[in-house]
A and B are shown apart, each in its own frame.
Chain A
Amino acid sequence: MAVTTAVCNQFKADLLGMAVHAAGNTYKLVLIKNGHTGTYGAGTVSVGATVDGTGTPSTTLLGTDAISASNSTMGTYPVTGFTLSGFSATLQSTTGCLDFTAPAAATGTTISASGCILYNSTQATGKSLACYAFSGAPIVSTVGNFTITFPSVGASTSLIQLA
C-alpha cells in the first residue's frame, strides 16, 4: 500500500464548512509504520477517535498502521503522535499557508516509518489535514532519536499551501 503526500480532500470540505478546525485546537503529527496495510493520501478522512495501534486501517482509522508498542520501541514517541505547537495561518503573497513549529525529537526510539499524517485531535474522529509520504526506503531509527523538521513559512515551502 502507498502513502502519498497530499492535502486531504475532507480537509478542503472542512475549510469551506468553516466550522471544523480552529487555531486553538490540538494538532498532531502521527507516524505511519513501514509495512502498513492502509492507503494514505488525499482520500484519508481521519485517523480515528482513538489512536492506539488497534483496529483495521481504513480511510477513517489509522489502526494497526500506527507506530505502537506492538511494532516499535516507542521511547518518548507517543502512539497518538507528536503534539504540534505554533499554529500559524498566514498569507504569503497570494498563497494561504498553514505551518507549525517542529516538535522536539523523540528519543530512545526504534521506529520504521513510511509517512505521517497531520490531524486535528480536538475533533472526535481525529480529522486529517494532510498526509506526507517518505518515499523510497522507510525512515528508520534504532535505539536513537527520531526527528521531524518542518519547512519554513513561504508560498512554496509551507507545510500546507492553498494557492
Chain B
Amino acid sequence: MDEPLIHTTKGNVPVSSLVYQTAWDIQETHIQFVERYLDDTGEVVKQNAHVYALPAAMTASNELSEA
C-alpha cells in the first residue's frame, strides 16, 4: 500500500516523515487546541488550529429596591 501523503508548506510529503505534536492553550478568553506537523529540521510545515470561543455577557437590571 502506498504511504499516505499530507499537504504541507513543502508540498505533499509522507506523513511518516513528520513529527506530530498537539498543544492546548487555555486563556481567559478562549481555549485553543493546536495540531502541529514538524519536518526533520523542526520547522512547522502544517498546523491545524481549533479555537473554543468563550462567551460575552451583558447585564440588565430589572429589579429596583426601595430602602
Q: Footprint of B on A, CB under 8 Å?
A: 5-7, 12, 105, 108, 111, 116, 130-137, 139-151, 156-163
* Residues of chain A lying within 8 A (CB to CB) of residue B59: 162-163
* Residues of chain B lying within 8 A (CB to CB) of residue A158: 55
* Residues of chain A lying within 8 A (CB to CB) of residue B53: 116, 132, 148-151, 159
CB distance from A3 to the nearest CB of B (A): 8
Q: Taking chain B's interface residues, is the majority helix, strand, or loop, or is none over half, making it mixed? A: strand
Beta-carbon contact of B49 and A140 below 8 Å = yes
Q: Please, could you name 5 A-B residue pairs with CB atoms under 8 Å apart, sorted by A?
A: A130-B56, A141-B48, A147-B49, A149-B51, A160-B56
Q: Footprint of A on B, CB under 8 Å?
A: 7-9, 25, 27-30, 32, 34-35, 44-60
CB distance from B16 to the nearest CB of A (A): 18
Beta-carbon contact of A12 and B58 below 8 Å = yes
* Residues of chain A lying within 8 A (CB to CB) of residue B45: 142-143
CB distance from B64 to the nearest CB of A (A): 16
* Complex: A108 Cα to B46 Cα, angstroms: 10
* Residues of chain A lying within 8 A (CB to CB) of residue B44: 142
Most buried by A among B34, B52, B53, B56: B56
Sorted from nearest, which 10 A-B pairs have the closest CB atoms?
A: A142-B47, A144-B48, A147-B50, A161-B57, A7-B58, A145-B48, A130-B56, A141-B49, A133-B29, A135-B29
* Complex: A111 Cα to B55 Cα, angstroms: 22
Beta-carbon contact of A149 and B27 below 8 Å = no
* Residues of chain A lying within 8 A (CB to CB) of residue B9: 142-143
* Residues of chain B lying within 8 A (CB to CB) of residue A144: 35, 46-49
